[in-house]
Amino acid sequence: MQAVERVMRECPVIPVLVIRDPAHARPVAEALVAGGLRTLEVTLRTPCALEVIAEMAKVEGALVGAGTVLNAGDMERSVRAGARFIVSPGLTETVVKSAREHDVPLLPGVANASDIMRGLDWGLNRFKFFPAEASGGMAALKALSAPFGEARFCPTGGITEASAVNWLALPSVLCVGGSWLVGAGKPDVVAITERARAASGLRPE
């Protein structure tokens, strides 16, 4: 099994995290792991994101990755901080080459058939479908999955707690990315754990 597929199959929901205070990093990670979600994507959307990755990587059981990786510099800094997988909103040769140079699993973003074909040309067949709802939602992913039978996806962008299970029921979907698990501000660890526990059981029968 590909390394990136192991990441995707670890949990049905990958929390997509925007953490603005490094002091919140460990409590959030501990609460998510306690609720059964150990695969955590920390987006590089805040000045403290790399510090957050480093802190979360210290939490036992956490598999921490970096999201919003746009270039080779982001890749290098993320891996150095402790990221064990990489998520990008798009698919570029620079990011693919950098991931291979660092020997780190990569989940690149695709939104259409041309993106997927370019990824297949580079030997990739595991993708983030992004932005999922804005790109046509489940109907679009069903249509895209038909000609690309070997491809598997992690839809992200507009996925909600209510809609996640429907996405997960699609044969081509291995997991979804969710931003509903952790709210802004000081973390409510009890609520985060409860939401994580509910999300960890979302796989359809």
pLDDT by residue (tens digit) across 81-99?
999 999 999 999 999 999 9
More confident residue, 205 or 106: 106
pLDDT digits (tens, 9 = 90+) for 137-155: 999 999 999 999 999 999 9
Mean pLDDT of the 192-199 span: 98
pLDDT-based confidence at 53, cuts 50/70/90?
very high
Q: What would the mean pLDDT of 47-67 be, rounded to a whole number? A: 98
Asked if residue 205 belongs to a domain, the reply is no
* Mean residue pLDDT across the chain: 97
* pLDDT exceeds cutoff 80 at 205: no
Inter-residue contact 65 to 154 (CB < 8 Å): no
pLDDT confidence of residue 19 = 97
Q: Is the pLDDT of residue 20 over 70?
A: yes
97 catalytic per annotation: no
Say whether pLDDT at 2 is over 90.
no
State the Cα–Cα distance between residues 176 and 13, nearest whole angstrom.
5
Structural domain count, the chain: 1
Is 93 tagged catalytic?
Answer: no
- The predicted pLDDT at position 184 comes to 87
Cα–Cα distance measured from residue 175 to residue 9, given in angstroms and rounded to the nearest whole number: 7
Nearest to 72 by CA among 106, 34, 42, 110: 106
Q: Is residue 72 part of a domain?
A: yes
Token pair recorded at residue 78: 């993320």
**Is residue 29 a part of any domain in this protein?**
yes
pLDDT value of residue 117: 98
3-state secondary structure of 173: strand
pLDDT for 1: 60
Answer yes or no: is pLDDT of 203 > 80. Answer: no
Give residue 204's pLDDT band: very low, low, confident or very high (50, 70, 90). low
Pick the catalytic residue from 10, 128, 142, 205. Answer: 128
Whether 24 maps to a domain, the answer reads yes
Three-state DSSP state, 114: helix
pLDDT for position 77: 98
* Domain extent at residue 99: 3-200
Is the bond into 131 cis (omega within 30 degrees of 0)?
Answer: yes
Whether 5 contacts 168, CB under 8 Å: no
In this structure, what CATH number is given to the domain that contains residue 175? 3.20.20.70
Across 73-77, average pLDDT = 98
Kindly state the tokens that stand for 68. Answer: 């919003």
Put the strands of the sheet holding 176-178 in their side by side order: 106-107, 86-87, 63-67, 39-43, 13-17, 176-178
Which candidate in 5, 10, 30, 41 is catalytic?
41
- Give alpha helix (H) positions in 22-134: 25-34, 49-56, 72-81, 93-101, 113-121
